[in-house]
Amino acid sequence: MSLLNPMNPTCPPPAPGGGTIEADLRVCHPGFSLDVALRLPAQGVSVLLGPSGCGKTTVLRALAGLGSTQGGGGGGLLGRTPQRVQGRVCVRGEVWQDDALGVWRPVHQRPLGVVFQEASLFEHLTVQGNLDYGWRRVPPAQRRLRHDDVIPLLGIGHLLQRRPHGLSGGERQRVAIARALLTSPALLLMDEPLSALDAARKAEVLPCLERLGQAGVPVVYVTHALDEAARLADHLVLMHEGRVQAAGPASALWTRLDVPLSQLDEAAAVLSATVVAHEPPQGLSLLRVSDSAPGLTLWTGLCTAPPGASIKVRVAARDVSVSLSRATDSSILNTLPAVVVEVREDAVGSVTLCLALGEGGANAPHLLARVTRRSAEHLGLRPGRPVFAQVKGVALLRG
């Protein structure tokens, strides 16, 4: 569903790119309280990740000016019994709410788009008609996105003359996103937009979400799904019981040993990579994982992205082993030089390592490795120790 708001004609939306989204928010319900201070980049995708009821949707409602529902999150963005969330909201220097100064911009004057869990399109209109509705909500002087920008981005050109009842769930959601973008929002809010889709429809929509950065509209995206966060997040906010556990660039948060993500069974690093070459007879693709160190490469299963394309890969901690010398007689294709950055003892007999690839410079990509305590002691693994990371498997997130 898209929340389509007319732009405030006296206050045109900021130009895309740059700036921050600031949200200092507080609200208290019986059994639940929210107290967060967020500083999000006003570009790319910022993902709020956490379990149901942790306050993610309450933050989204506050950004939209909708207020909070009783009892915490989990009720969706259009929940019942709204209560005003106290605090301050500022988007790229424009104050939407500041209770200390008595500033409150109502929802219909906030230049934003919202996509909900269910794509509630106008059933009596064609896809083209739904898109035109969003387009017409914006005064001509304030339109920054056109049909020709949005339709190819979401891959819906072949759907324009169809009506919503004839669309799949994934197609409906892509139309809802396109309609929201055609309001030329200063901010796009997305509340678990894939939660109602099956795996096939989810796989259909995810590539479109990855391309949202091309629209130049910052996105705040709520989810409890690790796979969505890994694939989409440029900036990551971990929430628990109405508080922020950690926040920062996603690439850094995945491998921080003081963050709960690294304690999960599914703990993994998410690396940005560039496709170097393909070897179709072998079913392999070669990826470069650091522009500053061209020798840091990974072999992975054959991908469809062309050479030069940027993709993301996920490397699970359980798929990384460590050696003190480079093995020459191993079936493992990927052996990368690395430096031990940090060592954390976990459950009895288990140790998690944070490894910086290459020589371990400030901008080096990081991996996680989960090994036995016996192996860590035998190899003398400690911060600063040069090692080789042997990567057994790489999961492609794009391409």
For every one of its 399 residues, what pLDDT tens digit does the chain have, with 9 covering 90 and above? 233 333 332 233 444 446 899 999 999 988 899 999 999 999 999 999 999 999 999 999 999 998 766 555 455 555 555 678 999 999 999 999 999 999 999 998 999 999 988 878 999 999 999 999 988 988 888 888 899 989 999 999 999 999 999 999 999 999 999 999 999 999 999 999 998 888 988 888 998 898 888 888 999 999 999 999 999 999 999 999 999 999 999 999 999 999 999 999 999 999 999 999 999 999 999 999 987 677 899 999 999 899 999 999 999 999 999 999 998 888 898 999 999 999 999 987 899 999 999 988 778 999 999 999 999 999 999 999 999 999 987 877 765
Give the number of C-alpha atoms closer than 13 A to the C-alpha of residue 12, restricted to the C-beta side.
9
3-state secondary structure at position 223: strand
Please write down the long-range contacts of 29-33, taking CB distance under 8 Å and 24 or more positions apart: 29/68, 29/70, 29/71, 29/72, 29/83, 30/70, 30/71, 31/71, 31/72, 32/71, 32/72, 32/242, 33/242
Q: Residues of 175-211 as b/e, b for ≥16 C-beta within 10 angstroms? A: bbbbbbbbbbbbbbbbbbbbbebeeebbebbbebbbe
Nearest by Cα to 188 from 213, 215, 211, 220: 220
The H helix count followed by the E strand count for the chain is 8, 22
Q: Which residue in 352, 280, 302 sits closest to 322, CA to CA?
A: 352
- Which residues of the chain form CATH 2.40.50.100? 268-396
Residue with tokens 């910086």: 356
Hey, what are 349's tokens? 């007999």
What per-residue string of b and e applies to 83-110 under the rule 16 or more CB within 10 Å gives b? eebbbbbbbbebebbeeeeeeebeeebb
Residues of the chain with CATH 3.40.50.300: 2-253
Look at the block and give the residue holding tokens 């570009």: 43
CA angle 307, 285, 331 (to 5 degrees): 155
Return the CATH architecture of domain 2-253: 3-Layer(aba) Sandwich (3.40)
User: d(Cα 51, Cα 235) in Å, to the nearest integer?
Assistant: 18
Tell me which residue of 102, 109, 54 sits closest to 240, measured CA to CA.
54
- The rounded radius of gyration (Å) of the Cα atoms in the chain is 23
| CATH assignment, 268-396 | 2.40.50.100
**In the beta sheet, which residues pair with residue 104?**
97
> Cα separation of 26 and 37, whole Å?
9
